[in-house]
Structure 1
Amino acid sequence: MAIINKGMSRRSFLGLTGSVAAVAGLGLTGCGGSSSDEGSASGSTDSANRGGGVITAGSAYAPSSFDPASTGSAVGLGANWHVIEGLYGIDYHDYSTFNELATDDPKSVDDTTFEVTIRKGAKFSDGTEVTADDVVASYTACAASATYAPFFQPFESIEAKDASTVTVKTKVPNFSLLKDRLAIIRVTPATQAEEERAKQPIGSGPWMYDSISDTEITLVPNPEYNGEYAAEDKKIQYSILTDPTARVTAQQEGSTLVME
């Protein structure tokens, strides 16, 4: 659960984020609200409510691997949600799925064969286009990892039909959790090596990694992003505060807007 800094109203904080993905990833799904939270906060302005600020969070966890194909790191997973898209995403407010790189629901060819088309013009933050080969490589890495392999037991294969279309074959006819399982696959460039993904993965999401250290993770807007949820703020900054006292102090002093 996250705690919002009392120096800022819930409305101001939600306005400041400017990104649906940012709100979900910072853990606000567990926050409650009341009428007393809705008033103007000290220092908040109409301009801040339209975005353009810095989102600061106090993390209770230290970073380890950021490789989306295998990481179980809480802070790594949370930060990756902003940076790396899948074909589909999961809205952690209600666990529904929504389109990320996919343009629509999977198209059924038969009971066990489906096609998914990638968003036109989608690019990674390094400027390279997202292709079906990137999706296949990302799936292959996930399916081979001990962390995620069990989730893909119902899958037969994922292959590139053409540059912008993947063909998904399942062992289970009319597999009802198809989009949920596809959402686990976070797509990175096929050319990015495993050790590079672990240190600082490249994605096609609204944010990109600016820097990662033992004490701070910084994200900035991805200028190549052409999806629906563009970042409207200047920065997301995770302060690594594993000590509870330090984390609470930062929250009380206003150094962080939200903390775990």
Structure 2
Amino acid sequence: MRDDDVTPDVPAPRRRSFLTCAGALGAGAVLAGCSAGPQSTNDTGGGRGRDRTLTAVIGYGNDGSWDPTQTASAFAMAANNHVYEGLLDTDPISRAPYPALGTGVPADPGATTWRFTLRPGAAFHDGRPVTADDVEFVFDRILDPGTQTLAKGFFAGWLESVRKTDARTVELKLRFPFPDGLSRLTLAKVMPRHVFSRPGAWDDAVRGLAVGSGPYRQTAHHPKSNTTFEAFAAYNGPRRPAFRKMNWLTIVDAAPRVARISGTGAGSQIADNIPYADIPRLERGGLKVDGGAGMNNLFLMFNTRRKPLDDVRVRQALHYAIDGEKMVRVALKGHGRPASSFLDEGNPGYRRARTVYGHDPAKAKALLRAAGVEELRVEILAVDVSWIVDCLPTIKSSWDAIGVTTSLAPQETTAVFTEMDQKRDYQVVAAASNPNQFGLDADLIMHYNYGPGNLWMGYTRWAGHPDAKRLFRDMDRATREPDPARKKAMVQDYIDVVAEQAVLYPVVHNELMTAWDPRRLTGIRAQPYPGVNLLQAHWV
């Protein structure tokens, strides 16, 4: 999920700063600057009535990077939305921007200068006031050509500079009109300069140090176990904290995650990443289960330096061979659709791609013959996300059916991408991705996955290919196009190229399901990307 030049590509950060990075603290450690919290995942922190602790179960690891300028960790990104603020933040569903640390949304989104005044009285969790210096500090890091951050890919192409004009006002200078940039400002979480300018502080942020100005402050962080929060009493922004304390558990395995939300001994009030097969039982038990369809997808990523996968016909053949309808029916229980574009069908920029990989074994075999490929053996290196594992047998049986001997090698997500970062040899990776964590606009989504300095393209070894270079030029032109309709068409045209090349391409888009107890919680909206957003939730 990832990643310098003038195009908004996702630059390649160090492995520790990526979504599945390790570098975790010891199991009993409490971060410097944080007070102690529940050590055990069974400890809800006590409290009665409205003072009781909200316990959430997140189906993703909390041991990825917590640095907001770097992370694509589902757990950390969801948590950081409660801990940090941008100048603007966005609604978790519509992604419409609203004032957060800034006091207003610029009246003219098409201007090339945006000015923001900071919210009076805004303070960080250590009590220090938020200043324009802090805003400058974060944007300087993001835009620094010598610093590789994930956030750079979302800003560097269109944002020239951010400078303070006084202690509480900053001015953003744009390279060209870019209205979509307003919703991206939520990705530049304002961090205290006095904390994160210290030597080693960015490494601490990777390992879990979080000090923001948001409605909740982090109180303890136990990698692979849980992270705790409490309401920040001095918060004076637009999303007031409704819960005195929160305990977020990380439970990647499906069965224990579901057990935490169901039955008479349920210890949590909300859980994400609910397996489809468990929905009827949870609903019979009085829980509300709802989903969001979006960019969540199972994708295949090919090593284009590995023969015969350097041949586009072979990549296409392997896609045509997959029975996507069966995968949706059997593994996803109907909660998904075979991909008909890189974008999901609900995206505002969607158009059916010129190349759509319907289930066509005969065409797959013909493409392999045309490429001169016989007795192909493929190992799929796959992440161990539960719904991905459920989909793998369909891929294997589909490839076996066209004479491709297929083996499956599911591993912990961290292990898979450690191998990628170490540039180890591989053939095919099957993994989950959801760029909707960052936003909805198609330009952002496509640059997240494709671009000359992009981490994903480094994994595929494809960025230097002539077809790739033409694609990247087309993407840059689309970013700069001022006319919205023309820009949309240009994006759709280059997505056709992405579909045809099938270097990194989705097989299915699926729904993500969230379950909660409506007898205890209200104001919950299921989001189409991992994690939960509790900024508008309340106790019943």
Q: TM-score range by the shorter chain?
A: 0.7 to 0.9
Deviations 1:89-144 (A, max 9, x none): 11112111111101012366x94222111001110010001011111111122334
The one-letter amino acid of 1:210's match is T
TM-score by length of 2: 0.38
Q: In 1, distance between residues paired with 2:204 and 2:226? A: 18
Partner of 1:149: 152
1:211 corresponds to 2:211? no
| Secondary structure at 1:78 match in 2 | helix
Equivalent of 1:250 in 256, 260, 280: 260
| Secondary structure at 1:211 match in 2 | strand
1:188 corresponds to 2:191? yes
Q: In 2, distance between residues paired with 1:107 and 1:129? A: 27
Cα-Cα RMSD = 1.9
TM-score by length of 1: 0.76
Change in 2 beyond 3 A, CA 1:107/1:163: farther
Q: In 1, distance between residues paired with 2:218 and 2:228? A: 6
Question: Does the aligned pair in 1 maintain the 2:151–2:188 contact within 8 Å?
Answer: no
Equivalent of 2:175 in 155, 171, 178: 171
Equivalent of 1:238 in 248, 252, 255: 248
The one-letter amino acid of 1:254's match is A
Deviation at 1:244?
A: 1.1
Question: Does the aligned pair in 1 maintain the 2:69–2:149 contact within 8 Å?
Answer: no
| Secondary structure at 2:51 match in 1 | coil
Give the gaps of 5 or more residues in structure 1: 1-46
| Secondary structure at 2:183 match in 1 | helix
Larger Rg: 2
Question: Does the aligned pair in 1 maintain the 2:228–2:246 contact within 8 Å?
Answer: yes
Question: Does the aligned pair in 2 maintain the 1:219–1:235 contact within 8 Å?
Answer: yes
The one-letter amino acid of 1:235's match is K
Q: In 2, distance between residues paired with 1:55 and 1:160? A: 39
Partner of 2:79: 79
Q: In 2, distance between residues paired with 1:208 and 1:142? A: 23
Moved more, 98-107 or 153-162: 98-107
Give the gaps of 5 or more residues in structure 2: 1-47, 273-540
| Secondary structure at 1:236 match in 2 | strand
Q: In 1, distance between residues paired with 2:149 and 2:125? A: 28
Question: Does the aligned pair in 2 maintain the 1:52–1:232 contact within 8 Å?
Answer: no
Q: Greater relative contact order (Cα 8 A, min sep 6): structure 1 or 2?
A: 1
The one-letter amino acid of 1:203's match is G
Q: In 2, distance between residues paired with 1:133 and 1:139? A: 10
Question: Does the aligned pair in 2 maintain the 1:159–1:168 contact within 8 Å?
Answer: yes
Partner of 2:162: 158
Question: Does the aligned pair in 1 maintain the 2:97–2:105 contact within 8 Å?
Answer: no
Q: Map residues 22-33 of structure 1 onto 2, 5 A cutoff.
A: none
| Secondary structure at 1:183 match in 2 | helix
The one-letter amino acid of 1:197's match is A
The share of aligned pairs that are identical, in percent, is 30
The one-letter amino acid of 1:195's match is D
Partner of 1:18: none
Partner of 2:54: 55
Change in 2 beyond 3 A, CA 1:96/1:111: closer
The number of aligned residues is 211
Moved more, 187-196 or 163-172: 187-196
